Structure 1
């Protein structure tokens, strides 16, 4: 009998704290917190929608959704999430379905970890 090895990829989310500081300086801490919370909610919604689009939706919608997710993530300093969204876009454009499936799975993992990290470190706003 062959032995099966299960892989559990672990990746720390890459965050740009300078972007949070810039938002706080430009908007003030309360308005920055509001922007970040709304962006996080939108990212969570889009991550779910993108998984559904990958299976059932038109490819053009998936491409647009990934670009929007990347832009929102950049706005609040989630550079790792933004980078992975762009990686998925590259796979779409190359037509590599295997790489697309792998990077979509990575997007889900890094998305969840990025949102959790941002939530856990909301003290950055102070």
Structure 2
């Protein structure tokens, strides 16, 4: 993959991450844990593919809490996932601003 295709892939992945972060929160508020689980797992796969290891690990933690049926832990790990995800996205955006 060349530099242009690589940049496009990272940009698409970032868009998907941002979308899934918001979607996971909306699904949690709606109490739709089944769809929240698949959303969180998708977010974790995307994070893993582009090397956002911490976000990947936290997404796995959220998924495990959903599967365990621990509502308090779901809320806590979801909040952590949002913080880690936002910091990760901002870091990549800042790097892109430096290269332009």
What TM-score comes out, normalization by structure 2 length? Answer: 0.91
Q: Deviations over 1:23-59 (max 9, x none)?
A: xxxx011100000001101110110011000110521
2:71 to 93, 97, 100: 97
Structure 1 position 119 matched with structure 2 position 93: yes
What TM-score comes out, normalization by structure 1 length? Answer: 0.73
Instruction: Answer 1 or 2: higher relative contact order, Cα 8 Å, separation at least 6.
Output: 1
C-alpha separation in 2, matches of 1:52 and 1:58: 9
Structure number with greater Rg is: 1
Corresponding position of 1:63: 37
Runs ≥4 in structure 1, deviation > 6 angstroms? none
Structure 2 spans left out of the alignment, 5+ residues? none
Corresponding position of 1:86: 60
CA-atom RMSD in angstroms: 1.5
Aligned residues: 98
